[in-house]
Amino acid sequence: MVTTSITVDDTGFLRLVLARADDALVLGHRLSEWCGHAPILEEDLSLANIALDLIGQARSLYALAGAASGHDEDQLAYLRDDRQYRNLLMLEQPNGDFACTIARLFLYSAYIDPYWRMLATSGSELAPVAAKAAKESAYHLRHSAEWLIRLGDGTAESHRRAQDALERLFPWTGEMFEPLPDDVAVPVAVWDAQVDAVLAEATLARPAPKWQQTGGRAGRHSEHLGHLLAEMQHLQRAFPGATW
Amino acid sequence: MLHQELARRRDPMWRWERPLLREISMYAQGLNQSDPAAVTASPEAARFQARIDAEDKIEPNDWMPEAYRRTLIRQISQHAHSEIIGMLPEGNWITRAPSLRRKAALLAKVQDEGGHGLYLYAAAETLGVTREDLVDQLLAGKAKYSSIFNYPTLTWADIGAIGWLVDGAAIMNQIPLCRCSFGPYARAMIRVCKEESFHQRQGYEIMLTLCRGTAEQKAMAQDALDRWWWPCLMMFGPPDAASQHSDTSMMWKIKRFTNDGLRQKFIDATVPQGHYLGLSFPDPALRLNPESGHWEHGPIDWEEFRRVVAGGGFCAADRLDARRRAHDEGTWVREAAAAFAAKRTARKEAA
Ligand SMILES: [Fe+2]
Ligand SMILES: [Fe+2]
């Protein structure tokens, strides 16, 4: 029996796991787009490392979701449509320039790094995955913070680009703090302190608070996710049921 | 095994803190500029050849004939460029890989190729050139790279075929280079070869999965073999009778086997693997010679080879465009990193 699109009744635990898994997969996919095209060879390797970590996290989480939903990791990744994806809107946005890619990785890592550390000691079913992810996210945070500081305090052009990236990305950051079922909550103040410290060193200004766009957790995405999935899911959709 | 491979992490070193490198290397290039014909007769040249004959490794600070240095710079930098350009055809499928496991493995593989480029540029730099200058030559269209990467990757099976055949051919070429007379190149090759053989097994496993899959998947695998087979045979370079660089390279133990010898080894190793997959080779003349034990092949289209090396073929313009775009769009990033490093140094000195 060939499976085409699937829908998952993701209430409770499944909502939490899929949200975190989709975040990791979608950001990992975006970062993998840089491979072969980065500004310097060392950065081709670093961004690929980070993408590999994130795809690995997604796989561990889909494995847990699979046990609860009866679908394997590839069915969950390749056979859900965008209305079924639960990732943060910020992570599905196109990469933009290098400043935008780095700023997004930083803003997300500044949230997810303390999150994984809290979750690792929470007694949650996700704790083992969180413990491993926390080691990786610490590196992602350090790497992106170092680059943001370099760009902010580099040349006039890099400063302008980094500041533009922050202005563009900040309206998407509020969504990270939307509560998920049975989850630990990273205090906004923890994220604020991390972000403010790095922006100060980078000589960048924190954008003024304005509207916050949400909807990703409920499957209401921007137009970009559909294209990302069309590309990513192409073979699984074109040859239903084949093994790769 | 796969997982261990993926868990590996490479922390790149930063280049920005080496502002003097360019000047140092220009100085080094000014040295040793004597005419190669004149030095072969010199006592240094005789000592040098004696060391090579004794299988001694030549290290960057040792005396070497200028022609030896030039040959190595050309060969190592072409090899490095090939690794970097080689990221593109496979990178073409990272976002479309058909499963999460394949996606991670392909991304790790393309990343490995970038790492090979890094080691090789570093090996070339020990000879008194800079990576920046070598990359400029590539982007200006003045440097060569392996013609195989000017062919397009059209289907997922091409990712299997590249791993199996292109990495397989690369291994045949590179295993003898692990014993190359120039120390840094030989050591880089030892590291590279371990990863290439992992890539080759991974590619073959993709082919095997396709050939054991649906009829459409098997047809995809056959089509990929049909398109990649001849270009892979060309990877070993022109036939020995027409090769410009072979004799001196053999004398210097940069090269240990002839182009035709390596090509034959590759064919002998690969044909049974293809038959095990249940695939056929696009060469009606391919036959096992029972006396020699070697597979004999039909004529190779060297006209196509010359055209593709010279920038013809499907993708040469696309490949260089992609590298130029990455380089140009990254200029402001490299400038920012250099400016930041300079500021930090100035602050340290002021403190
Ligand atoms: Fe390689
Ligand atoms: Fe390889």
In this predicted complex, what is the ipTM?
0.97
Tens-digit pLDDT string for chain A (244 aa): 566 899 998 889 999 999 999 999 999 999 999 999 999 999 999 999 999 999 999 999 999 999 889 999 999 999 999 999 999 999 999 999 999 999 999 999 999 999 999 999 999 999 999 999 999 999 999 999 999 999 999 999 999 999 999 999 999 999 999 999 999 999 999 999 999 999 999 999 999 988 999 999 999 999 999 999 999 999 999 999 999 9
Distances from the Cα of B62 to the Cα of B47, B120, B123, angstroms: 11, 19, 15
Q: What is the mean pLDDT of residues B313-333?
A: 95
Token digits of residue A41: 């060879």
Mean pLDDT score of chain B: 89
Residue linked to tokens 């010279």: B310
Decide if A244 contacts B99 (C-beta within 8 A).
Answer: yes
As to burial, measured by CB atoms within 10 angstroms (0-12 exposed, 13-18 middle, 19+ buried), residue B16 is middle
Q: What is the CATH number of the domain that holds A46?
A: 1.20.1260.10
For residue A196, what are the domain limits?
13-238
Res. B244 pLDDT band, cuts 50 70 90: low
Token digits of residue B322: 């992609």
Q: What is the mean pLDDT of residues B247-254?
A: 91
* Residue A101 located in a structural domain: yes
* Residue A141 located in a structural domain: yes
The residue type of B211 is C
* Residue A224 located in a structural domain: yes
Distance (Å, rounded) from C-alpha A140 to C-alpha A120? 17
Chain B positions touching A39 (Cβ under 8 A) are: 326, 329-331, 333-334
* Residue A2 located in a structural domain: no
The answer to whether B330 contacts A29, with C-beta atoms less than 8 Å apart, is no
Give pLDDT, residue B247: 82
Decide if B98 contacts B157 (C-beta within 8 A).
Answer: no
Task: Tally C-beta pairs within 8 A across A and B.
Answer: 152
* Residue A8 located in a structural domain: no
Smallest CA–CA distance, residue A170 to chain B, in Å, is 22
CA angle B180, B185, B189 (to 5 degrees): 85
* Residue A1 located in a structural domain: no
SS3 label, residue A185: coil
Q: What is the mean pLDDT of residues B118-142?
A: 97
Query: Of A52, A101, A157, which to mutate for an interface test with B (greatest number of B Cβ within 10 Å)?
Result: A52
As to burial, measured by CB atoms within 10 angstroms (0-12 exposed, 13-18 middle, 19+ buried), residue B293 is exposed
Q: Which residue of B has its CA nearest to A157?
A: B332
Closest CB to A36: pick one of B87, B100, B339. Answer: B87
* Residue A212 located in a structural domain: yes
* Residue A122 located in a structural domain: yes
What proportions of chain A, in percent to the nearest 5, are helix, strand and coil?
Answer: 70, 0, 30
Chain B positions touching A33 (Cβ under 8 A) are: 94-95
Is pTM, for the whole model, over 0.90? yes
Distance (Å, rounded) from C-alpha A206 to C-alpha A197? 10
The answer to whether A32 contacts B95, with C-beta atoms less than 8 Å apart, is yes
Number of domains in chain A: 1
